């Protein structure tokens, strides 16, 4: 195992951005930058030993400062959508950015992947880790509570990439973290992924009520629907099936 770092660039605000790389003894490498705690590269050998980068990303700091698709990004304080960009908690109403029609998407305009993080590397059991941390102050993005955010990535000798996201707050708040990497197992620049196969260990999904991508509140079985990935199937097999949920989501954009 090894951990290395290099200078990646400088932000528009003058912050120096560092790129960190974890590498195991099987030739797998995963890289991150402390601008956003973003996964920039995942170098993975295929069955013939050919190594390629299987996540989408950018080559410059300037591109990551925009990053509208959120390539490789940890999203928060609230990933996905808040309907009408407003919520009520303990009797108080909180207004958020309307950055997707009437919705608040991925926390609004000031996203977590556009922030600078402190980085700390460590040697852990069966691997190496890196943790990105920052304090999201009370009121940032419109959410209550000072929230200490820790994003930990672990690369193991078993070829696992483990993501542990943790938030600690001093007020009752809402939080919903995720990682927004786009994967292409044929290589990041190889075209469509429709023939690649996927399994999702989820028997249910949250359908949308309309095309605004807000869950209706129903927990629906995937059985008999194009959402059924409980057994391995190609991603594109059912994507053109006549189905209301596929229309609402313009494909698969649902919670499982």
Give the ranges where 39-117 is alpha helix by DSSP (H): 61-66
- The span from the CA of 47 to the CA of 45, in Å, is 7
pLDDT in the model for residue 230: 98
CA dihedral angle for residue 96, residue 111, residue 70, residue 94, rounded to 10 degrees: -20
Residue 59: CB atoms within 10 A of its CB come to 10
pLDDT in the model for residue 104: 96
Which among 227, 209, 202, 247 has a CA at the least distance from the CA of 81? 209
Q: How far apart are the first and last CA of the chain?
A: 34
pLDDT in the model for residue 211: 87
pLDDT in the model for residue 128: 96
CB-based contact 242:249 (threshold 8 Å): no
Which among 63, 10, 59, 12 has a CA at the least distance from the CA of 34? 10
Residues 6+ apart with CB under 8 A from 66: none
pLDDT in the model for residue 1: 83
pLDDT in the model for residue 176: 94
106 burial via Cβ count (<10 Å: 0-12, 13-18, 19+): buried
Residues 6+ apart with CB under 8 A from 63: none
pLDDT in tens, 119-151: 999 999 889 999 999 999 999 999 999 999 999
Paired tokens of 162: 């483990």
pLDDT in the model for residue 47: 87
Low-confidence ranges of the chain (pLDDT < 50): none
């Amino acid at each position: 195992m090894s951990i290395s770092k290099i200078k990646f660039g400088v932000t528009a605000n003058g912050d120096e951005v560092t790129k960190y790389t974890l590498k195991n003894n099987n030739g797998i490498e995963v890289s991150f930058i402390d601008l956003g705690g973003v996964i920039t590269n995942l170098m993975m050998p295929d069955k013939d030993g050919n190594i390629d980068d299987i996540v989408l990303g950018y080559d410059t700091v300037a591109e990551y400062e925009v990053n509208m698709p959120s390539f490789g990004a940890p999203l928060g304080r609230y990933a996905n959508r808040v309907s009408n960009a407003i919520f009520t908690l303990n009797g108080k109403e909180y207004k958020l950015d309307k950055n997707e029609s009437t919705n608040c998407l991925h926390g609004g305009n000031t996203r977590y992947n556009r922030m600078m993080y402190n980085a700390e590397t460590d040697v852990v059991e069966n691997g190496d880790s890196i943790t990105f941390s920052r304090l999201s102050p009370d009121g940032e993005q419109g959410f209550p509570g000072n929230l200490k955010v820790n994003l930990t990535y672990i690369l193991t000798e078993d070829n696992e990439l483990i993501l542990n996201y943790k938030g600690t707050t001093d007020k009752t708040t809402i939080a919903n973290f995720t990682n927004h990497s786009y994967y292409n197992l044929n290589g990041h620049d190889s075209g469509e992924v429709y023939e690649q196969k996927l399994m999702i260990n989820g028997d249910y999904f949250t359908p949308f009520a309309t095309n605004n991508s807000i869950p209706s509140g129903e927990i629906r079985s995937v059985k008999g629907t194009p959402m059924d990935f409980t057994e391995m199937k190609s991603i594109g097999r059912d994507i053109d099936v006549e189905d209301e949920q596929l229309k609402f989501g313009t494909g698969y954009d649902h919670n499982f």
